[in-house]
Amino acid sequence: MATIEDVARLAGLSRATVSRVINNHPYVTEEKRKSVQQAMEQLGYVPNSIARQLRTQTHETIGVLIPRLSNPFFSKLVDAMENIAAEVGFQLIVCQTKSQKERELLYLNWLKTRQVGGIIFASTENEWDVIKPYKEFGPIMFCNEYPPHTEAPIVCLDQLKGGYIGTKHLLERGHKKIAYCYAGSQFTNIRERYAGYKKALDEYGLPLNERWMFKDAYDTRDGKRIYHALMQQADRPTAVFTSSDEVALGMIAEAKRNGTAVPDDLAILGFDDQPIAELMDPAISTVYQPVEQIGITAIRMMIRFLRNQSVPVNEITELPLHLVVRHST
């Protein structure tokens, strides 16, 4: 590999001048610029980004924390982020926490070792107090989900509204017994969604039934499990507000297999609006989340932090959500 030294020698100039050409600095005669460029070309020279990072104390790698890539919501999110990052030469590092606190911390420590320059949390496991000390080592921000008391930039969705419009839709369809599924921890902003659910119920003067709350609802397997738990109850709900299209998918498949008509016997509402939602039979009614938008907004912010070496301001950006009515409700 040719180094800046090689280029300098070939061009008959100093490393400093070559460096100036590379970085488009002023005060280089056109003539010398030309000869440097020619030498670079001839040697196939490309600056070593490692050396550059060491010298400038800058970073061009961003860690994105997600539970797992095989969850379509997150793969789509990372997809959107990567498009932007690649455009400007930044690298995205996949960090799958597998929903484990320790793994999240493992990746957070990469900030100290400089293996990543900044971190975007797209999901969170640890509480803010645990994460906060890492702010010292690089920009940290949240998108999609964040723990209470977060003191960092946030890009998120109006989950309260999501919970509200979803529930209201079911209520308007005449349902009075509506089950609710949620993913693990209620320590993040996802509990906002729950508040929206309660709000809608309140408006209709309906009580909340604890037995119709189902936690740990992540994927199709959970959907199946919850379907059975639901059907075993004496006082059965007539509708379910699931936590994701995955869960809805699993429930619908299992419902059909067991002769439960959807939506007649059981209405099922998804969340996300993934491509499969439209393809299922019945097509899944769901709450659309602008995944790409969150991704793009977040990554742009992070790139700005890294470029300007600026301290993130704790602003919060909230993106809208809307209902997509199909045939499962």
311 Cβ contact list (under 8 Å, min separation 6):
139, 305
- Residue 12 CA to residue 27 CA, distance in Å, equals 17
Report 218-247 residues binding a copy of itself (CB under 8 A): 219-220
Interaction between residue 267 and a copy of itself (CB under 8 A) = no
SS3 at position 14: coil
The reply to whether 32 sits near DNA by the rule CB under 7 A is yes
**23 lies in the binding site for DNA (CB under 7 A):** yes
For 103-162, list the strands marked E by DSSP.
118-121, 140-143, 154-157
273 binds a copy of itself (CB under 8 A): no
Residue 115 in 3-state DSSP?
coil
Residues touching DNA, count (CB under 7 A): 30
Q: Residue from 17, 61, 167, 188 that binds DNA (CB under 7 A)?
A: 17
Q: Give the whole-angstrom CA distance, residue 231 versus residue 18.
A: 73
Is residue 27 part of the contact set for DNA (CB under 7 A)? yes
Q: How far is the CB of 314 from a copy of itself (least distance, A)?
A: 23
Write down the least CB distance from residue 292 to a copy of itself, Å.
10
State which amino acid sits at residue 158: D
Residue 116 binds which of a copy of itself, DNA, none (CB < 5-8 A, kind-dependent): a copy of itself
Amino acid letter, residue 6: D
Would you list the DSSP string of 134-197? GGGGS-EEEES---TT--S-EEEE-HHHHHHHHHHHHHHTT---EEEE--S-SSSTHHHHHHHH
259: left (phi over 0), alpha (psi -120 to 50) or beta: left
Contacts with a copy of itself: how many residues (CB under 8 A)?
53
Binding site for DNA (CB under 7 A): 1, 3-5, 12-17, 19-20, 22-23, 26-29, 31-32, 45-48, 51-52, 54-57
Binding site for a copy of itself (CB under 8 A): 1, 44, 46-51, 53-54, 60-61, 68-70, 72, 75-76, 78-79, 82-83, 86, 89, 91-96, 103, 106-107, 109-110, 112-116, 137, 219-220, 249-250, 253, 256, 275-276, 278-281
